Amino acid sequence: MWLRASRDLATELPFDMEHVPGLGVVKKLDKERRWHLAGVYAARHQLVGPWLRRSCATCGTRGRCEYHRWADDVLISEASREWLGR
């Protein structure tokens, strides 16, 4: 519940600000910095362990952690934009 509430608050930020895990609320990152951080987070925060009790290898969160969710959102949205030609 707390994670959902914190992500909902991110929609109420000013236009030129965004919430980035590990950095907090910062000015919008340029494309290269976003890609770099997403790649680092996706590589470091992977799920390990047995299927029923998978947890993040870095922070120990059960299931996907905030870092991994943010990295997935960035990588998937940018890849779909490129694939659609936008």
pLDDT in tens, 22-61: 999 999 999 899 999 999 999 999 999 998 889 999 998 9
Find the radius of gyration of the CA atoms of the chain: 14
**Domain segments of the chain as ranges:** 2-84
Number of Cβ atoms within 10 Å of the Cβ of 41: 24
pLDDT for the residue 2 = 46
Better pLDDT: 73 or 12: 73
Count how many Cα atoms sit within 13 Å of the Cα of residue 26 in the half-sphere of its side chain: 10
pLDDT for the residue 32 = 92
* % of the chain exceeding 70 in pLDDT: 86
Average pLDDT over the chain reads 85
Q: How far apart are the first and last CA of the chain?
A: 34
Burial of residue 67, with CB atoms counted within 10 A of its CB: 0-12 exposed, 13-18 middle, 19 or more buried: buried
